[in-house]
Amino acid sequence: MMDTHVVIMAGGIGSRLWPLSTPERPKQFIDVLGVGKSLIQLTVERFLPVCAPDKFWVVTSEKYVDIVREQLPDIPADQILAEPEARNTAPCIAYACWKIAQRHPAANIVVTPADALVLKTDAFAEAIRKALAATEGTDAIVTVGITPTRPETGYGYIHASEAVPGEVVKVSAFKEKPDAATAEAYLADGHYFWNAGIFVWNVKTITRQLRAYAPQIAGVMDTIAPALFTDAEASVLRKLFPTCDKISIDYAVMEKSRNIYVVAGDFAWSDLGSWGSIKTHIEPDTDGNTVVGGDVRLFGCKDCFVHTAGEKTVVVEGLEGYIVAESADRLLVCRLSEEQRIKEFSSEKN
């Protein structure tokens, strides 16, 4: 029987969703859609068809461990892994996989971000099952591709020689975020998919690949390994983890390995990386306005997105194409067309 594990990467701070998402409580721990569940809870939910609750692992910042325990009480405490410092996705993934390897040497692993949305969960689960079948006992790595619905310049792309939705096919290249003309060409070509940042492999494959292509990180993990699952783990990790090369798994492994495959489909996926992307997943009123929260009253507004986290009454009059978002002690009023500047707007003044 397949020994399936799911690793959830939950260390980001979601700065483009300020003021709701903050370094103290980032977007993966927030109910950004107003559905009663945080994004990380929805992530666990979508993987339950392929993985038992006690086989989930979360890699997060030290400062978010208590939030993870509160929101995901079914995950064993020693499977909530605390990074002492953010070092990008390659060290994050290596840490989880070295731990899994110690107790589950035949593990088949899915690695996923904590903060994306998938609406077509049945089709998604079937694609993950196919990916797991392809990686069990082989040296294949399978990534998940999203059939593009628009010429998106904000995502990286995966190129496959074949375009067979729902089937595992060979990857020919990874592409950086394109300009508008290139994105149009990718969409017309039909062999390009958005890169969802979801990876499937068995634990032996990923440790071999990291040793081959990221030996510095693998060496640090080998040094940490004797302390894993002991009382010394936290102190050893705090000393050695920050010495890992700061690099993404895409650059460290995916763009170098020769045995990469993709399973792609229309899963109604979004990275929910901006207020505008969230707006597209909430039913608007007849004036194009979308609202998440309590007592929100709109007068003469059009194409606005209002997100309120508290119980207070919010009244908005006469705005068109604006974001109005509030948290307990912060308020944002910003044109949707300028939302790419929210990170700039929210930075501390010198």
145 with 192: CB under 8 angstroms? no
Number of domains present in the structure of the chain:
2
The span from the CA of 97 to the CA of 111, in Å, is: 10
The span from the CA of 325 to the CA of 343, in Å, is: 14
* 168 and 287 in a common domain: no
154 with 122: CB under 8 angstroms? no
Domain boundary residue, one of 226, 243, 270: 270
Going across the sheet that includes 331-335, the strands are: 290-292, 305-308, 322-326, 331-335
CB within 8 A of 171, min separation 6: which ones? 143, 158, 159, 160, 260, 261, 262
Identify the pLDDT of residue 348: 59
* 256 and 126 in a common domain: yes
* 92 and 118 in a common domain: yes
* 146 and 251 in a common domain: yes
Identify the pLDDT of residue 156: 92
- Tokens standing for 217? 């990180």
265 with 226: CB under 8 angstroms? no
Beta strands in the chain (DSSP E): 4-9, 56-61, 80-83, 108-113, 117-118, 141-146, 157-160, 168-175, 192-202, 260-265, 269-270, 290-292, 296-299, 305-308, 314-317, 322-326, 331-335
Query: Which residues are registered as beta bridge partners of 181?
Result: none
Handedness of CA 211, 214, 219, 224 (dihedral sign): negative
* 290 and 173 in a common domain: no
Residue 207's closest CA among 98, 110, 103, 105? 98
Write out the residue range of the structural domain in which residue 133 sits: 4-270
- pLDDT tens series, the chain, 350 aa: 589 999 999 988 778 889 888 888 899 999 888 888 999 999 999 999 999 999 999 999 999 999 999 999 999 999 999 999 999 999 999 999 999 999 999 999 999 999 999 999 999 999 999 999 999 989 999 999 999 989 988 889 999 988 787 789 999 999 999 999 999 999 999 899 999 999 999 999 999 999 999 999 999 999 999 999 999 999 999 999 999 999 999 999 998 998 999 999 999 998 888 898 888 888 899 999 999 887 899 999 999 999 987 678 899 999 999 999 988 788 999 999 998 889 888 875 43
* 203 and 66 in a common domain: yes
Identify the pLDDT of residue 12: 83
Identify the pLDDT of residue 272: 85
72 in helix, strand or coil? coil
* 292 and 214 in a common domain: no
Residue 122's closest CA among 45, 20, 212? 45
* 320 DSSP 8-state letter: B
* 264 and 280 in a common domain: no
pTM: 0.92
Write down the H helix ranges in the chain: 39-47, 65-71, 89-103, 121-135, 180-189, 203-213, 215-224, 233-240, 249, 275-279, 342-346
* 332 and 293 in a common domain: yes
Domain boundary residue, one of 209, 238, 270: 270
**CATH code for the domain of 240:** 3.90.550.10
* 204 and 337 in a common domain: no
* 159 and 70 in a common domain: yes
* 298 and 265 in a common domain: no
Domain boundary residue, one of 225, 246, 270: 270
